[in-house]
């Protein structure tokens, strides 16, 4: 972590996103995806942005590039896809080659907090990334600046209920080094950054449904018993935390109306 509490590349690469663990997650989420709902959910959310072909989108924290690939190949968008983790970017380069990546995707190792763009993007899309970032005000101000006027911000993220949390959940959040917010906190943060919020939704029920389908998929995987057991217990714990209520999942759509 850096001195402000944000995840750094070494923290991610040696911790949650080793090359092996990324590929284990990918087995469950589907090729080139490491976020809830995999490709089908990404497809729905990209449609929700309602961008025009040839528009330029930033995928902030692109992971293995599955969403970026879909944006370019199905929706005709130009995509800057960035991620802080070296392991993610290295694997994403392979995935985009394997998927015959359109030339309209630029993949780069970069920190969301360091984006130095002004009025560049028609849309910013981010899936389950901001939990790694402590400096939320700075984050949304950087993203606001990077969007063109009328540009849209769409993101999902792991969220939380207001404290107090039970001990299991507090320990999980601390061990992962996450910085979770409630859906209401996120709404306030994006408004403070100058966005008009179109929707701020608690989609925890959908998160549980996705996770249950993913748990079923684990049983069908060709993987070692050790890997399957590890994934199974991860997914069961995640479903349990969401059912108990402290872990929430939020979806946000906002628009930049002024400079
Ligand atoms: C749960 S994964 C989701 C990846 C991808 N969005 C997807 O849907 O498959 C979270 C990603 O956020 C990236 N990340 C964390 N902090 C970041 C930062 N400050 N800037 C860019 N990427 C970051 C991680 O490296 C990781 O790839």
CA of 138 to the centre of ligand 1 (A): 17
Which residues 6+ apart lie within 8 Å of 221 measured at CB? 27, 28, 227, 228, 231
Closest atom, ligand 1, to C-alpha of 112: 20
- 110-136 pLDDT, tens digit per residue, is 999 999 999 999 999 999 999 999 999
The domains of the chain are located at: 9-256
* Most informative mutation of 9, 57, 83, 113 for ligand 1 (most atoms within 8 A of CB): 83
Give dist(CA 143, CA 190) in Å, integer. Answer: 10
9-256 CATH fold: Rossmann fold (3.40.50)
Closest atom, ligand 1, to C-alpha of 12: 25
Residue 2: how many CB atoms within 10 A of its CB?
12
- pLDDT band per the 50, 70, 90 thresholds, residue 54: very high
* Most informative mutation of 32, 61, 95, 210 for ligand 1 (most atoms within 8 A of CB): 61
pLDDT at 22 over 80: yes
Which residues 6+ apart lie within 8 Å of 159 measured at CB? 180, 181, 182, 183, 186, 202, 247, 248, 249, 250
The phi, psi pair for 60, rounded to 5°, reads -90, 110
- 215-245 pLDDT, tens digit per residue, is 999 999 998 999 999 999 999 999 999 999 9
Q: What average pLDDT does range 89-113 have in this prediction? A: 93
Alpha helices in 177-224 (DSSP H): 183-192, 204-220
Please name which of 143, 89, 137 lies closest in space to residue 115, comparing C-alpha atoms: 143
CA of 59 to the centre of ligand 1 (A): 10
Give me the pLDDT at residue 119, please. Answer: 97
Closest atom, ligand 1, to C-alpha of 6: 19
* Whether pTM exceeds 0.95: yes
63 with 36: CB under 8 angstroms?
no
């Amino acid at each position: 972590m850096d001195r402000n509490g944000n995840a750094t590349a070494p923290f991610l690469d040696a911790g949650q996103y080793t090359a092996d663990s990324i590929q284990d997650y990918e087995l469950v989420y589907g090729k080139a995806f490491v976020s809830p709902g995999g490709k089908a959910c990404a497809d729905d959310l990209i449609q929700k942005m309602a961008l025009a072909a040839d528009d330029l989108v930033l995928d902030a924290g692109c992971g293995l590039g599955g969403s970026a690939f879909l944006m370019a190949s199905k929706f005709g968008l130009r995509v800057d896809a960035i991620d802080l983790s070296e392991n993610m970017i290295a694997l994403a380069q392979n995935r985009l080659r394997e998927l015959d990546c359109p030339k309209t995707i630029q993949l780069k190792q970069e920190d969301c907090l360091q984006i130095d763009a002004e009025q560049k993007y028609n849309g910013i899309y981010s899936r389950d990334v901001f939990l790694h970032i402590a400096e939320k005000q700075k984050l949304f101000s950087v993203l606001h600046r990077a969007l063109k006027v009328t540009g849209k911000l769409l993101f999902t993220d792991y969220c939380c209920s207001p404290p107090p949390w039970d001990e299991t959940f507090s320990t999980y959040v601390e061990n992962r080094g996450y910085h979770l917010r409630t859906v209401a906190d996120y709404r306030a943060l994006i408004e403070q950054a100058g966005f008009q919020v179109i929707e701020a939704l608690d989609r925890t029920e959908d998160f549980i449904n996705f996770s249950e389908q993913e748990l079923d998929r684990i049983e069908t995987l060709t993987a070692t018993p050790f890997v399957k057991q590890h994934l199974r217990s991860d997914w069961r714990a995640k479903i349990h935390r969401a059912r108990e209520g402290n872990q929430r999942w939020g979806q946000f759509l906002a628009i930049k109306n002024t400079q």
